[in-house]
Structure 1
Amino acid sequence: MARLRAQGRASLTGGARLALSGLGAARAETAARALVADGVDGLVSWGCASALVPALAVGDLLLPREIVTAAGPRLAVDAEWHARLTDRIGGGARLRHGALAETRGVLGNAANKQALHALSTAIAADRESAAIAAVAVEFGLPFIVVRAVADDAVMTVPPVARAALDDDGALRPLRVLRRLVRPPAGRHAELRAIKQLAVAFRTAQRTLDAVAPLLLDTEPDGDT
């Protein structure tokens, strides 16, 4: 399958539908609404997340039972779908069910992550899941969240890495190079952080790759 761009959609095995939203709540909502228009009967928020507590390690699989929205309300995932997927995964993965918090910006350092945990009691956070869940609630569809930890509770996401991501969430190496040809103080620290983050994202991706077939086996009747 050709690489999708933001807001692109594709069909998967068994009739499931995939949409690449890109980064942020607004894009996630747009993609979710497009899938609903395609006739899906369930929504999955799929991707990476930031750990808010030290107990989580890079690559841990997150299957939260609820989402804590930035506005405060909590949205529960579909209990039956969640239970089926948990049973299929079994005990071989580092599986976590704690709440996932919505964040409206990048949690770039440990202090920001600690503050969000204290506010929400969630163990991890992302920018898209709450928006997808809200669309599912609006249309009366089941939804679940499947995310993998890409940065742990103490990892700093350097500004150069944030600047290098495009709207699809893909890394654009030329953006990194443009920043580093005129490096600020601390260039070596930023380079080390970028390398650490790249390794962490690959670890998270391996977790998601392993669980993808199990998710398709547990989807609701019809498309997802």
Structure 2
Amino acid sequence: MPFEARIAAGPDVRVVCQQNTALAEMLEAALAQGCRGVVSFGTAGGLVDALRPGTWVVARRVLSETECFETDEDWSRALCRALPGASYGDLAGVASPVVQAQAKHALHQASGAVAADMESHIVGRLAAQRGLPFAVCRVVIDPAERSLPEAALAGLRADGSTDVWAVLRSLARHPGQFPGLLRLAGDARRARRAMIAGRRSLGRGFAYCRA
């Protein structure tokens, strides 16, 4: 999302901000110009109840339906040191948002992953193809026990920005979503604050620790 890209930016960092299939094309072009490592940074959906909004997750592995990508162990340790309280575990790469609480718990049971996002498996695949160190640090934005309101998804554009009119149209059709949308907005504020503070802690180059 654009706000994630703004937070991620800094010295020794090139930010690629896009979703799903368009991400692969943009990231391939960036990697062709050379880099020392690739990190997937942003928000994620929680899959276990213990992970509250604003909690950091550092991935040990990224799992999709057919693939598994190991993260760089040394880099991941450095991320955990820079982000006290971060949860270290597997992350699920999904093609679309995991919306319902039941589906979140089912994905955890099936995969063992503690959180999910739609980009990390794409980043991991391209990093593996080029033999580059790969790491993931993500902040939980929606907890496992909470289903996402339809309005939140209706307002999500392909580039990650928000279509306010689409949100309002969805609310007009189903006004009962409003309390859930307010809760999600509060969760998003907590996640954003955690991302800003954590990004400062990660410093130059996202705590990359190889010579």
TM-score by length of 2: 0.89
Asked if 2 retains the 8 angstrom alpha-carbon contact of 1:70 and 1:104, the reply is no
The question of 1:30 aligning with 2:25 is answered: yes
Q: Highest CA radius of gyration, 1 or 2? A: 1
User: 1:219 deviation in Å?
Assistant: 2.2
Match of 2:92 in 1: 101
Q: Percent sequence identity over matched residues?
A: 29
Match of 2:71 in 1: 77
CA separation in 2, counterparts of 1:13 and 1:47?
A: 14
User: 1:12 deviation in Å?
Assistant: 4.5
The question of 1:219 aligning with 2:197 is answered: no
Residues 148 and 13 from structure 1, CA distance in 2 versus in 1: closer, same or farther, beyond 3 angstroms? Answer: closer
Q: What stretches of structure 1 move > 4 A for 4+ residues in a row?
A: none
Which shows bigger deviation, 204-213 or 54-63? 204-213
Structure showing the higher helix proportion among its residues? 2
Q: Describe the superposition over 1:69-121 as per-residue Cα deviations: whole angstroms up to 9, x where unpaired.
A: 221x32110111112222233x3xx3100100112221111111111111101
Asked if 2 retains the 8 angstrom alpha-carbon contact of 1:85 and 1:214, the reply is no
Number of equivalences: 207
Task: Give me the CA root mean square deviation.
Answer: 2.3
CA separation in 2, counterparts of 1:12 and 1:147?
A: 15
CA separation in 1, counterparts of 2:201 and 2:171?
A: 41
1:66 to 47, 57, 61: 61
Q: Which runs of 5+ in 1 are unaligned?
A: none
Q: How does 1:111-190 map to 2 (within 5 A)?
A: 111-181=102-172, 183-184=173-174, 187-188=175-176, 190=177
Q: Which amino acid aligns with 1:179?
A: S
Q: How does 1:37-52 map to 2 (within 5 A)?
A: 37-52=32-47
Residues 130 and 35 from structure 1, CA distance in 2 versus in 1: closer, same or farther, beyond 3 angstroms? Answer: same
The question of 1:197 aligning with 2:192 is answered: no
The question of 1:208 aligning with 2:203 is answered: no
SS of residue in 1 equivalent to 2:166:
helix
